[in-house]
Amino acid sequence: MSFPAVTANKTENGLVLAETDLEMIRYIHGINGPVLTVHGEGFAMAEMVTVNGLPGEVIALKPDAATVQIYESTAGLKRGMTVEKTNHPMSITLRPGIIGGIFDGIMRPLNENIARRFSAQITAEPGQTLNGGDIFASVEETESITYKAMVPPGVSGVVSYAAPHGEYSSSEKIILLETQNGTHELSLSQKWPIRIPRPVKRKLSAEIPLITGQRVIDSLFPIVKGGTCAIPGGFGTGKTMTQHQLAKFCDADIIIYIGCGERGNEMTEVLEDFAKLKDPRTNASLLSRTVLIANTSDMPVAAREASIYTGITLAECYRDMGCDVAVMADSTSRWAEALRELSSRLAEIPAEEGYPAYLATRLAAFYSRAGYAENLNGTNGSVTIIGAVSPQGADFSEPVTLHTKRFTRCFWALDRRLAYARHFPAINPLQSYSGYLPEIDEWYVKNIHPDFPIYREKILKTLFEESTLLETAKLVGTDSLTQKEKQVLSVAKKIRENFTAQNAHTDPFTPLQKQFELMKNILRATSENHRSVRILNTR
C-alpha cells in the first residue's frame, strides 16, 4: 500500500495544491487501540479531528506525525484513511435541553431529541452593549431550571438585531452583536473547550454548607457549596450509594452525575430512580435538575478520560447562570486507569504504579475547577466536586487516593469493616475529616444553633475515646474499665447506632435542625454527659 507523501502539497512547477488536496495528505499511519499516529501537517495540539466519522483529539505532536486519541472503538479503521481537521479544540456545545438528559463522555446524547425547539424570552435589545457572560435570553428548560443564554467570555459589542420572543432551535441566530472584529451571531448555544476552565470575575470564599441530609456528613464532616471532597473506599463499601444519596438529597440546584467506568446498570438505576423521585425543595422530578454523563466500563477509554472534563464544563456553564452545581464523579480511579492506559499506548515513561507522571497535575486541574465565584455577569454560583476513589484492596496509600487527598479538603473514608457490619454509610469517623469547619461554623451557629460546633466536637471526641477504650478493653477486658469509661462506650454505641448509621432506603434524609436535636438527645443520655455539655454551654 502506498501513502501520499507529506511533500505532495507542491506540484512539479512549485504551485501549491488546492485546499482539498491538502486535506488528503493527513492520513492514518499507525493504529494502537484508541491511539493513532497520523502523518500530515497543520494540526494543533488538543485540536478535534474526525476519522471516518469518528471523533478524536490531537494529544501529541512530533516533527513527522501527530498522535490522536479516538473516542470510539477503532475497529475497522485502516492505515491510509484520511484524517479531517476541525480547527477547534475538543469542545462541547452548551445549550438548553441538556438537563434531564444522558450523554456519553464527549457529550453525545444517548437519549435525547436534538431537533427540539425552545420557547425563548429574548432579554437583550438593539443598541444595548453586551459583554462576555451577559445574559441575553432565557428558556424554561425544566420545571425547576431556567436556562440562560450568555455571551461567550471574551466577546463584547453592541446589539444590532434581537429576535422577538418565540420558538427557536438551539443553533438559530437570535442576536447580532457588532464587535470590533465584525458581526458576531449569538444563538441559545455556545461551544466551549472542555479542558479550559470557564472564566469568572473572582473566586469568593465558600462559607455555606451543601446540605445533604446525611447525618454523618452534615453534622460531622460537612462540605461547602463550592468545595471539593473525596470518597475513597474499597470494593462494595458504598461509594456509589453515597453519591446517589447526595445526588438525590443535596440542596444544589443542578447535579452533574458522571458515571466513569462503572457498571451500566447503575446509570440505568439513576435514570429510573430519579425520574420517580421528587426534589424536596421544588417538588419537581429529580431528573429535572440532573444531567448524567455515562461512560460505563464497556465504553471506550478515551471518552472516559474526557468525561470528567465534559461534566465539569457543563457545571461551570450552569454556575455562570447563577446556580449551585454539584458534580459527582464515580469513580475517579477508573478515570485514572483510562489515563494510564492511554499513557502506556503512547509509550510514556510510567511513574508510580504505572500511572503517568502528570496524574497529580491532572487531578489538581480537575479539582481546582470547583469553587464559589462571582460570575462575569455579576451573579454568584458554585461548583462542588465530590469524587469517589476506588483504591485496589482498599489501600489508601495508592497514588490516586493520595493525590486526590492533596487536592480535596473533605475526606469521607469508607471502611470495609463498617460495610461488612452493614453500618451505612460506612464513613469511618476516625479517618475522615472536613477542612471547611473554620469557614462554615459561623453558618451553623447563626442558622441552626449556637452550640452546634460544641456538640459536633463532643460527638467526635466520644467516638475517638471509644476507639481507645476498645483497644484497652481488648487487652485487659471491659471489666477493668471505670464506670465513666463504660458510660463513654455506651454513648458512643448510641451515636453509632442512632446517629452516624443511616440506611439509604429506610432513613434517607434528616433535616439539619433535627440532626442537631438528635445529637443533643444522645449526649443528654447520661447525667455525666448532661453535666459536661452544660459546662461547655456556659463557656
Ligand X SMILES: Nc1ncnc2c1ncn2[C@@H]1O[C@H](COP(=O)(O)OP(=O)(O)OP(=O)(O)O)[C@@H](O)[C@H]1O
Select the binding partner of residue 241 from Mg ion, ligand X, none (C-beta < 5 to 8 A, by kind): ligand X
Q: State which H helix or E strand residue 442 sits in.
A: helix 437-447
Alpha carbon distance 135, 148 (integer Å):
6
Asked whether position 503 contacts ligand X by CB under 6 A, the answer is yes
Q: Which is nearer to Mg ion, 138 or 240 (CB)?
A: 240
Shortest CB 128 distance to ligand X, Å: 50
Asked whether position 239 contacts ligand X by CB under 6 A, the answer is yes
Whether 218 contacts 456, CB under 8 Å: no
Select the binding partner of residue 425 from ligand X, Mg ion, none (C-beta < 5 to 8 A, by kind): ligand X
Name, in order, each residue with C-beta under 8 angstroms of 434's C-beta and a sequence gap of 6 or more: 220, 221, 222, 223, 409, 410, 411
Select the binding partner of residue 238 from ligand X, Mg ion, none (C-beta < 5 to 8 A, by kind): ligand X
Q: Which is nearer to Mg ion, 216 or 231 (CB)?
A: 231
Shortest CB 301 distance to Mg ion, Å: 18
Q: Using DSSP, state whether 284 is helix, strand or coil.
A: coil
Select the binding partner of residue 409 from ligand X, Mg ion, none (C-beta < 5 to 8 A, by kind): none
Grid coordinates given for 321:
447562570
Which of 240, 290, 408, 510 touches ligand X by CB under 6 A? 240
**Residues in contact with ligand X, shown as a per-residue x/- string from 298 to 337 under the rule CB under 6 A:** ----------------------------------------
Grid coordinates given for 503:
440506611
Which of 424, 436, 499, 516 touches ligand X by CB under 6 A? 424
Sole residue written with cell 431528573: 287
Grid coordinates given for 256:
452533574
**Residues in contact with ligand X, shown as a per-residue x/- string from 368 to 397 under the rule CB under 6 A:** ----------------------x-------
Q: State which H helix or E strand residue 157 sits in.
A: strand 157-162
Q: Report the Cα–Cα distance between both ends of the chain, in Å, rounded.
A: 85
Shortest CB 158 distance to ligand X, Å: 53
Alpha carbon distance 362, 360 (integer Å):
5
Alpha carbon distance 392, 125 (integer Å):
57
Q: Which is nearer to ligand X, 266 or 352 (CB)?
A: 266
Q: Using DSSP, state whether 255 is helix, strand or coil.
A: strand
Contacts to ligand X from residues 43-102, by CB under 6 A: none
Q: State which H helix or E strand residue 383 sits in.
A: strand 380-389
Shortest CB 338 distance to Mg ion, Å: 16
Which of 4, 193, 236, 435 touches ligand X by CB under 6 A? 236
Alpha carbon distance 414, 389 (integer Å):
10
Contacts to Mg ion from residues 220-249, by CB under 5 A: 239-240
Asked whether position 105 contacts ligand X by CB under 6 A, the answer is no
Which of 504, 525, 532, 536 touches ligand X by CB under 6 A? 504
Shortest CB 291 distance to ligand X, Å: 20
- Among 213, 215, 205, 246, which residue's Cα sits nearest to residue 229? 246
Shortest CB 412 distance to ligand X, Å: 12
Only segment of 31-39, 228-236, 376-384, 480-488 that touches ligand X (CB under 6 A): 228-236
Alpha carbon distance 246, 249 (integer Å):
5
122 residue type, one letter: I
Whether 260 contacts 227, CB under 8 Å: no
Task: Count residues near Mg ion (CB under 5 A).
Answer: 2
Binding residues (CB under 6 A) for ligand X: these are 233, 235-241, 390, 424-425, 503-505
Binding residues (CB under 5 A) for Mg ion: these are 239-240
